[in-house]
Amino acid sequence: METAIISGKGGTGKSCIAAAFASLLNPVVLADCDVETANLFLLFDPLPEETQVFIGGRSAHIDGTLCTNCGLCMEYCRYDAVYLSDGQVAIDEANCEGCGLCSRVCPRQAIAMVDNDKSRLYSGSFRHGQMIYARLAPGEDNSGKLVGLVREKASALALDKQIEDILIDGPPGIGCPVMSAITGVDRVVIVTEPSMSGLLDLQRLLEVVNGFGPSTWVILNKHDLHPAMARRIESFCRKSGIAIAGKLPFDPLVPEAMVHCKSIIEWAPHSGVARELKKIWNTITNQTDNNLWKHKTRVSTPD
Amino acid sequence: MTTHAARNDLAFRIAIASGKGGTGKTFVATNLFYSLLKQNIPVTLADCDAEGPNDAIFFPGRPVRSLPVTRRTPVIDERICTFCGKCRQFCSFHAIFMLPVSRVIRCMDELCHGCGACLYACDAGAISEKEVQMGELNVFSVTRTARIVESRMQPGFPSPVTLIKAAIREAGHANTPLPGHSVLPGHTVLLDAPPGIGCPFVQTVSLADYVILVTEPTPFGLSDLKQSVECLQTMEKPFGVVLNRAGTGNDGVNEYLDKEGFPLLMEIPFEREIAFNYARGRLVCKSWPGFQHALVKMHELIRRTYGNGHHQR
């Protein structure tokens, strides 16, 4: 079973909740798909057993000895990535999208496309099973592709180590990396918080998720910080037919656990938040399994 | 990594960024914006988080102007196409789908970056281009000297970079003010940056004259701060740090800043009331004059140290 935990808005507590579920599942394959700013390895300190290089696109490099400054590349580039520096044509790396058109049009073959090879994918064991995480080099493209690679690795490890559950800690936003993190999963858990931004980001995220069709759950984190807004989000979910798996209160124990590099389940297993998280996990798994079971019987019934 | 894109405006741009989401970028950006406009300092807030723009909810009002942002995408005429495959070979994003036997060829818009390489590749003249809308810019007028430019991407596009560039360009244009507006050369433009350290983040900060990094005192906050700093250092961008929710978590961030000698611009204490007001879409600095004053001072210090922007580049 693959479960993805996502949130449109950052900082809603997605990683802390993913860490808690990982402690509950034990053994689990934990895939940190927040490849731009991976954090779970800080809590779980996995033993890096394997490192892979990820090519996150390409960028153009000009050979100054061949370039005649004809400016054709500048004319064709649509990203303002070619500019004149003291009369010499140069590439602006921040703007270059790696399309390679400049190197195609160059009459002197002075522009080479070089692989961006600074991103890495790590995998190894940790105290609750296996873990995969990645590090996208700053400014590099294709984080969606890297997310896909992290998930591929997770599936391979799950098969290899005979572990049933894969837990995905997803990236923020609504873009390509998120779609890559939830494609084909069995369950999606959206973590949100009771604020105006929390509600708006949840609505935008649902537009994306609805296209994918797995069973979807919402966890309302820190609900007591703004009870009225929490009610508004609850009623929005009811109207849209999205089940709320549970609500978590704001509790200083959660950041405290993080500071000690523990999940809340490990740090305070008998706290209210930990108990609530266990309940939430049971709700999600029982319901999803029931649905799947129903689905399976329906499919296997002969006409 | 430096950027040299042509600057045609005279604004001073301050990006408010953080690697980790939810540390309080929007919180700092909106409160700083309000504090400056209260002082009648000409200011534009550009919401560059095109995947989740939320700045405008703090300043009620309808957009006074809405501009569609489009991107070019190829249209391939199957009747003219010779199925030579050159366009597919030229496409770096694997966006050309082709079945020569069934005479099917098309561009997959969700992969296309609109670079024009296929158009250049085609010898048969089978490829033309059309504009597709990828999002919009919404311009809000808050006071006579304060505007918000919001970038908003439609779900399903691969990258918000084009939108972000358009928003920053629009925000900096002192020569196209709104009717009744007086946007002065040298006014401050605040860029509320998207989270992460990928392309959208780099694009935003590469166009900034100064970067404020917002973080929180936790191991997650520190780890992401270090990544952002590393990135800004390779870009040679001056920056300072705002520590949000100070008093919770641990001292890791303070120790790191002390050790490296990076400026700590401000510490914002954690208080339930702040979180509560913010969640309600209220501006905390309205009922907290000390915070407003500190933000104005911080802006003054940054502008005094790093100048007016227009002498750079």
Residues of chain B contacting residue A92, judged by C-beta atoms under 8 Å apart: 2-5
Is A206 inside any structural domain?
yes
- A37/B219 touch (CB, cutoff 8 Å), yes or no: no
| Judgement on whether residues A111 and A186 belong to the same structural domain of the protein | no
| Residue A24 Cα, gap to closest chain B Cα (Å) | 21
| Judgement on whether residues A153 and A283 belong to the same structural domain of the protein | yes
Average pLDDT in chain B: 87
Domain B12-69+135-306 classification at class level: alpha beta
Residue among B54, B89, B231, B254 with most chain A CBs within 10 A, to mutate: B54
Of the three residues A89, A115, A141, the one that is the final residue of a domain is: A115
Interface of B with A in 34-53 (CB under 8 A): 51-52
Residues of chain B contacting residue A42, judged by C-beta atoms under 8 Å apart: 219-220, 223
| Judgement on whether residues A131 and A174 belong to the same structural domain of the protein | yes
Handedness of CA B255, B1, B137, A232 (dihedral sign): negative
Q: Would an 8 Å CB–CB cutoff place B136 in contact with chain A?
A: no
Q: Which of A173-182, B129-138, B153-162 has the highest mean pLDDT?
A: B129-138
- B198/A99 touch (CB, cutoff 8 Å), yes or no: no
| Residue A150 Cα, gap to closest chain B Cα (Å) | 17
The CATH number of B78-125 is which of 3.30.70.20, 3.40.190.10, 3.40.50.720, 3.30.1490.20?
Answer: 3.30.70.20
Is A120 inside any structural domain?
no
- B120/A175 touch (CB, cutoff 8 Å), yes or no: no
Q: What is the CATH number of the domain that holds A89?
A: 3.30.70.20
- B116/A78 touch (CB, cutoff 8 Å), yes or no: yes
Q: Is B209 exposed, middle or buried (0-12, 13-18, 19+ CB in 10 A)?
A: buried
Q: Which pLDDT score, from 0 to 100, does residue B174 have? A: 52
Nearest CA to B246 out of B4, B11, B91, B23 is that of: B23
Residues of chain A contacting residue B90, judged by C-beta atoms under 8 Å apart: 100-101, 104
Among chain B residues, CA nearest to A262:
B219
Interface of B with A in 203-222 (CB under 8 A): 203, 206, 218-220
Is A236 inside any structural domain?
yes
Q: Would an 8 Å CB–CB cutoff place B246 in contact with chain A?
A: no
Given a contact cutoff of 8 angstroms between Cβ atoms, the answer to whether A263 and A20 are in contact is yes
Is A121 inside any structural domain?
no
Residues of chain B contacting residue A226, judged by C-beta atoms under 8 Å apart: 276, 279-280
Residues of chain B contacting residue A12, judged by C-beta atoms under 8 Å apart: 22
Q: Which pLDDT score, from 0 to 100, does residue B2 have? A: 42
Given a contact cutoff of 8 angstroms between Cβ atoms, the answer to whether B153 and B50 are in contact is yes
Q: Which pLDDT score, from 0 to 100, does residue B7 have? A: 52
Nearest to B158 among A176, A225, A255 (CB): A176
What's the CA gap between B294 and A251, in Å, rounded?
29
What's the structural domain count of chain A? Answer: 2
| Residue A34 Cα, gap to closest chain B Cα (Å) | 9
What torsion, rounded to 10 degrees, do the Cα atoms A239, A244, A248, A254 define? -120
Q: What is the pLDDT of residues B164-219, one digit of tens each?
A: 999 998 888 754 545 555 456 678 999 999 988 888 899 899 999 999 999 999 99
Tokens 């390779």, residue located: B234
Q: What is the pLDDT of residues B42-98, one digit of tens each?
A: 999 999 999 888 899 899 878 888 999 998 999 999 999 999 999 999 999 899 999
Among chain A residues, CA nearest to B157:
A175
Q: Please list the residue range(s) of chain B that carry CATH number 3.40.50.300.
A: 12-69+135-306
Residue A78, domain extent? 59-115
Q: Please list the residue range(s) of chain B that carry CATH number 3.30.70.20.
A: 78-125
Q: What is the pLDDT of residues A227-270, one digit of tens each?
A: 999 999 999 999 998 999 999 999 989 989 999 999 999 999 99
Q: Which residue intervals of A45-100 are DSSP H helices? A: 72-76
What's the CA gap between B116 and B110, in Å, rounded?
15
Residues of chain A predicted below pLDDT 70: 211-213, 288-303
Is A42 inside any structural domain?
yes
Q: Which pLDDT score, from 0 to 100, does residue A209 have? A: 85
Is A186 inside any structural domain?
yes
| Residue A77 Cα, gap to closest chain B Cα (Å) | 7
Is A122 inside any structural domain?
no
Q: Which pLDDT score, from 0 to 100, does residue B5 have? A: 44
Q: Which pLDDT score, from 0 to 100, does residue A239 have? A: 93
Among chain B residues, CA nearest to A16:
B220
Residues of chain A contacting residue B117, judged by C-beta atoms under 8 Å apart: 99-101, 104
